[in-house]
Amino acid sequence: MTNMRNLILGAVFLVLLIAVPPLLDLAWQNALVNILIASLFALAFNLLIGQAGLLSFGHAAYFGIGAFAALHLMIAVENGLPFPTPLLPLAGAAAGLTVGLIAGYFATMRSGVYFALVTLAIAELFHSLAPRLEGMFGGEAGIASMRMPWASFTFGSMLSVYYLVLAWVVICGLGLWAYTRTPFGRLTLALRDNEQRVRFLGYNAHASKVIVFAISAMVTGIAGSLLAISNETANYSLFASAVSSQVVLQTFVGGATVFLGPVLGAAAFALFSFLVSDLTRSWVLYQGLIFVLVMLYAPSGIGGVVEHHIRNRKNLDWSRLAGPYLLALAGGLLIAAGVVFLTESASILFGEEYAMARQGANGGLPAYELFGLIWKPLSFVTWTVPAALLAGGGVVLMRARREIGAIWDSKGHGARPAAKSASMGGAA
Amino acid sequence: MEFAIISALNGVTYGLLLFMVSAGLTLIFGMMGVLNFAHASFYMLGAYVAYAVSSIFGFWTGVIVAPIVTGLIGMAVERFLLPKVHKHGHAHELLLTFGLALIIEELVKLFFGDFPVNYQMPASLRFSAFHIFGADYPFYRLFIGGVAVVMFTALWLLLTRTRTGIVVRAAERLPAMAEALGHNIPMVFMFVFGTGAALAGLAGAVAGAFYPTNPNMGLELGVIVFVVVVVGGLGSLKGSLLASLLIGLFSSFAVGLDWSLAKLLGLVGLGEWARSIGGLMTLELSSVSATIPFALMLIVLLVRPAGLMGERN
């Protein structure tokens, strides 16, 4: 019954993904492509942390390798190699798998935090080496190519690229989901839960981890090659630690314990960065704040919180919960508004433009514009507004948290989700 | 000869700087099992606090205030943030500090801009220590090394010769037992974390005046420090000293050498063939000096996965 419903839900979602994009403008289509790629990247990353319990801080390496491999193949196609354009990500898969096998061999020699450090160092190795290798990575400028037409498809429009990316992401996503259902997928979970026991049962733990690592790197390589196909260019900045940390943030905010959690996180972050990156320079700061809040108050991520509610949906008195939840949302929004006000004010007051304006005002502190209003830096009002927002939001949130906690407790499910859902408001 | 001596001096001072930062990291890890991703951010924060303070109150005040500020922030992190995620395991503690590192870096960018700031050593320290091979050797390099050595001696004496040191070492080995004997272990943990952060802050305040002070300095050094602890063996102070010096020396020698795989193969008559291949073969050592630490780490992982001085895990 549940399976049937999930299947229908998935089908409806897929139909939406296919039917809606032609109605959108180019910017949105581009954003959707990036969301899909980020989702696949996060899914592949989560195979390691969510399934095998291995925390990689260097997945940019395999993402970048996949992108460069696809570009080299694209250049070859440009020069006359008869290779169907839709199958270009296979190059990324092969490169990701190869590099993943080698890197995974080293990285999985150690476990725990050592593993994280080694993966980070391997990614930095690529990042430091890539600009020096002209032939392979095109130096600092990188390499570029063109999508060649294949059969009756020209791949000239963003929309055709979108469908190509969608097909690959859906196939790989289903493949990864199927993987969790295989005996080896079960073994992967066992590696996370009790590696010692896996070894005693006669499995070769190191070899198994190398395989899991290589599969994750392979799918990451596919995601990277999809980006290369969409952008038609790549340079060494794909190996940067920012790329690696981005996928960590997305996966854990989305929820590493739920299969589709990383997709949720990746979609949310990619969408937000599309919407607000023009408006603020502090987007990464907000991401960091959201991540830390989720780590502190909802360690299982958005996906975990949602899953918990779905599991308990029959036992919950939704009519009683709705009020406190709305209250929590309001409190979270108030606090978010206060934080955004302070951050953007700081961004303006410590920015270069303001320094110029100060010179114009003979070292005084001229007023600045924010959210369409004029604020004076030394005025009492300017700093009372964010203070009131933060304090008010705090009071409202604490009240909501108490009420939600009481309702959950009365249902006999422990005090757990009160803090989580309260913070979810803050995070949103 | 000239090259060897200058490179050795530079390598040792850089290695000592690496040790200043990695010591705190390894101490905290050995004790609490927390790998502090924000540790290198404390290094960067130290440089920026010292820069901000020294522009008003002078260099020395900055160097004193920076470790105090970073130490206090470190204590606050240990006291208020880490316990909340402790029950979810070490991975979550690591992730929390990772998020903090991101926030610290972005805050620094917010207040100081995403470009290097002009943090300079005072004129009173800007002189040459000695004249060697027709070049002046800056005193400040020796000063950085000297600060590291003094810090280490103090730390080592504190850990091995005082009562506090015994409690700290006991807390590292058997926290539950030490607590049962009546010692306030949470307090010890907080102070060790604070001390580690303060050491990183001090290193930043001292080194930032010599090396560029920019928002990337934390990450750049942080990655090398992680390599140091993997090579040396996490939790081992001696190991990180050895690995710091090793990586410092390797990096400083590599900068000046134009060796390449092609040249090496040239010794056995394959030089032409290697040059015709290009790519990796003709890369000169000097241009890949940033890569040396990582290569060293991979070799150590192959030969001795537990690190030079680490216990087998």
A8 belongs to a structural domain:
no
Q: Tell me how far apart the alpha carbons of residues A262 and A139 are, in angstroms, rounded to a whole number.
A: 33
| Cα dihedral A356/A361/A364/A366 (nearest 10) | -80
Q: Are residues A66 and A209 in the same domain?
A: yes
A257 touches chain B (CB under 8 A): no
Indicate the SS3 state at residue A139: coil
Cβ-based neighbours of A25, under 8 Å, separated by 6 or more: none
Show residues of chain B in contact with A122, CB under 8 Å. Answer: 294, 298
Whether residues A149 and A25 fall in one domain: yes
The predicted structure's pLDDT at residue B283: 66
Q: Does one domain contain both A293 and A332?
A: no
Greatest CA separation for chain B: 72
Q: Are B255 and B214 in contact (CB under 8 A)?
A: no
Q: Which of A309, A306, A260, A269 is nearest to A289 (CA)?
A: A269
First to last CA, chain B: 42
Say if A5 falls within a structural domain: no
CA distances from B308 to A261, A314, B231, B299 (A): 39, 57, 6, 11
Residue by residue, DSSP assigns A334-387 as HHHHHHHHHHHHHHHHTSHHHHHHHHHTTT----EEETTEEE-TT-HHHHHHHH
In a domain, A307, yes or no: no
Tell me the average pLDDT across B290-298. Answer: 81
Q: Using one digit for the tens of pLDDT, what is the confidence trace for B48-91?
A: 999 988 888 888 888 889 999 999 999 998 888 888 888 887 78
- How crowded is residue A283: how many other Cβ atoms within 10 Å of its Cβ? 17
Same domain for A279 and A331, yes or no, is: no
Q: What does each of the 428 residues of chain A score in pLDDT, given as a tens digit?
A: 567 888 888 888 888 888 888 788 888 888 899 999 999 999 999 999 888 888 898 899 999 999 999 999 988 888 888 888 888 889 999 999 999 999 999 888 887 778 888 888 888 888 888 887 777 787 777 888 877 777 777 777 888 889 999 999 999 999 999 998 899 999 999 988 888 899 999 999 999 999 999 999 999 999 999 999 898 888 888 888 888 988 998 999 998 888 888 999 999 888 888 888 777 778 888 888 889 988 888 888 888 888 888 887 777 777 777 777 888 888 788 888 888 888 887 877 787 777 777 777 776 677 777 776 777 777 777 778 778 888 888 888 888 788 777 777 776 554 444 444 444 444 43
Interchain CB contact of A128 with B (< 8 Å):
yes
Residue A71 shares a structural domain with residue A219: yes
Substitution target in B261, B294, B300 with the highest count of A β-carbons within 10 Å is: B294
> Which residue in B95, B234, B290 is closest to A295 by CB distance?
B95
State the nearest Cα–Cα gap between B111 and chain A, in angstroms: 5
Q: What is the pLDDT of residue B174?
A: 82
Candidate from B96, B110, B283 with C-beta closest to A282? B110
Please give the structure tokens belonging to residue A301.
């991520």
pLDDT tens for B219-255 read 888 888 888 888 888 777 888 889 999 988 888 887 7
- Indicate the pairing of strand A373-375 with strand A143-144: unpaired
Q: Quick one: which of A104, A349, A334, A137 has its CA closest to A212?
A: A104
Domain boundary among A230, A265, A299: A299
Q: How many domains, chain A?
A: 2
Rounded CA separation A330/A397 (Å): 8
Residues A245 and A382 both lie in one domain: no
- Quick one: A274 and A327 in the same domain? no
Whether residue A91 sits in one domain with residue A167: yes
Nearest-10 Cα torsion for A162, A166, A169, A173: 160
Same domain, A55 and A177: yes
Judged by CB atoms closer than 8 Å, whether chains meet at A132 and B288 is answered as yes
Partners of residue B90 in chain A, C-beta under 8 Å: 112-113
Work out the average pLDDT over B94-117. Answer: 87
Residues A320 and A293 in one domain: no
Chain A residue at shortest CA distance from B85: A296
B42, B225 in Cβ contact below 8 A?
no
ipTM: 0.84
pLDDT at A42: 93
The last residue of one of the domains, among A246, A269, A299, is: A299
Which residue's entry shows tokens 């820069």?
B51
- The residues that bridge with A373 in the sheet, in sequence order, are A370
Q: Could you tell me if residue A30 is inside a domain?
A: yes
Say yes or no: A124 contacts chain B, CB-CB below 8 A.
yes
Which pTM value belongs to this model?
A: 0.85
Query: What is the distance between the alpha carbons of residues B119 and B262, in angstroms, rounded to a whole number?
Result: 42
- Topology annotation, domain B2-257: ABC transporter involved in vitamin B12 uptake, BtuC (1.10.3470)
Going by C-alpha positions, the residue among A298, A291, A187 that lies closest to residue A247 is A291
Is the model more confident about B114 or about B15?
Answer: B15
Residue B129 in 3-state DSSP?
strand
pLDDT tens digits for B122-166?
777 667 767 676 677 788 888 888 888 898 888 888 888 888 888
Query: Would residue A9 count as lying in a domain?
Result: no
Angstroms from B55 CA to nearest CA on chain A = 16
The total number of residues written for chain B in this structure:
313
Angstroms from A232 CA to nearest CA on chain B:
23
Same domain, A73 and A181: yes
The tokens for A233 are 């260019």
Domain coverage including residue A25: 17-299
Residues A100 and A68 in one domain: yes
| pLDDT given at position A175 | 93
Handedness of CA B208, B212, B215, B219 (dihedral sign): negative
CATH assignment of the domain containing A36? 1.10.3470
Residue A72 lies inside a defined structural domain of this protein: yes
pLDDT at A415: 43
Please check whether residue A57 lies inside any domain of the structure: yes
Listed as own residue / partner, the contacts of A195-204 with beta carbons closer than 8 Å and 24 or more positions apart are A195/A111
Longest dimension (CA), chain A: 77
Please identify which residue in the block is written with the tokens 């270009």: A88
Three-state DSSP class for residue A269: helix
Q: pLDDT per residue over B263-282, tens digit each?
A: 666 666 666 666 666 666 66
Which residue among A121, A133, A296 sits closest to B294, beta carbon to beta carbon?
A: A121
